[in-house]
Amino acid sequence: MQLKLNNKVAIVTGGSKGIGFATAKILLEERANVVICSRSNENLMHAKSKLKKYDNLLTVQCDIGIDGDVKNLFKQTIKNFGKVDILVNNAAPTSWGPLMDEIDESEWLNAVNDKLLGYVRCTKLAIEDMLLRKSGRVINIVGMGGRGPNKRYLTGGPINAAVLSLTKALADYYGKNGILVTALSPGPIDTGHHKNILTWVAQEAKISTEQAMLNFIEGIPVKRYGHPEEVANAIVFLASDKASFITGSEVLVDGGRFRSL
């Protein structure tokens, strides 16, 4: 299948690790120009060293929770590559664990500022540029907590639900301008973020993290965790010309874990 991504410009937020890193790597293999951002310069340099064979990669230190950082991310992208064709909103996984009485207002505000407003900040600037060519893709990485509420995922669940709502609304509004907006929810994927979740689950249930992982796997029809590359393949497909009639949809990449119609 020809994905025709050469000469496209893609921004992957949170591209230094996990799902974002795997997505950036496949986009580079498909010869897109890729910009990755994350908060830690050390993480970015580590990612860059693993991708050193590609000369069409730009790294920009950016916390999507900070408006000025996001503006600089887009400024550097346009300066180096001239445009933005694809935005993968992936950064800032929300924390798992604390219950309602353990979360104070500042944690709620931080979670909303990072994941929900972070996605909004990036999307606004991406769409501004995409409108110039009447073409573009925005792919929002969400999570099953948006549709399957969980008492141990109190900030993440509502934020993911809000991002799903935003995805639908933006798809509706910008479809006429050739801008397609989709959401993708990964299931348990073997990343640093999911290792943190396992630690919480193990602590609460007073079991080992190995046992917590086995319990998770028991609930997954394919009986294993997903790899970041398996999510990245679906993201890159949604970013490509081959997904030209898909917008407003949520794609699940979860080994069948989410049991709902």
Ligand X SMILES: NC(=O)c1ccc[n+]([C@@H]2O[C@H](COP(=O)([O-])OP(=O)(O)OC[C@H]3O[C@@H](n4cnc5c(N)ncnc54)[C@H](OP(=O)(O)O)[C@@H]3O)[C@@H](O)[C@H]2O)c1
Among 3, 8, 20, 179, binds ligand X (CB under 6 A): 20
**Contact status: 136 vs ligand X (CB under 6 A):** no
22 phi, psi to nearest 5 deg: -60, -35
Residue nearest to ligand X (CB): 18
Region from 58-66, 96-104, 169-177, 244-252 binding ligand X, contact rule CB under 6 A: 58-66
Contact 97, 107 (CB under 8 A): no
Query: What minimum distance in Å lies between the beta carbon of 182 and ligand X?
Result: 14
Catalytic residue among 119, 153, 174, 225: 153
C-beta separation of 48 from 96 below 8 A: no
167 part of the interface to ligand X, by CB under 6 A: no
Closer residue to ligand X in complex, CB, 131/220:
220
d(CA 58, CA 79): 11
Q: How far is CA 220 from the centre of its chain?
A: 21
Question: b or e along 147-157 (b: 16 or more beta carbons within 10 Å of the residue's beta carbon)?
Answer: beeeebbbbbb
d(CA 137, CA 148): 26
Tokens linked to 242: 């081959």
The verdict on whether 153 is a catalytic residue reads yes
Q: How far is the CB of 187 from ligand X (least distance, A)?
A: 6
- Decide: is 257 part of the binding site for ligand X (CB under 6 A): no
**Taking CB under 6 A as the rule, does residue 247 contact ligand X?**
no
Return d(Cα 70, Cα 24) in angstroms, integer. 18
The verdict on 140 binding ligand X (CB under 6 A) reads no
Q: Can you give the binding site for ligand X, defined by CB under 6 A?
A: 13-14, 16-20, 37-40, 43, 62-65, 90-93, 114, 118, 141, 143, 186, 188-189, 191-194
- Catalytic positions: 153
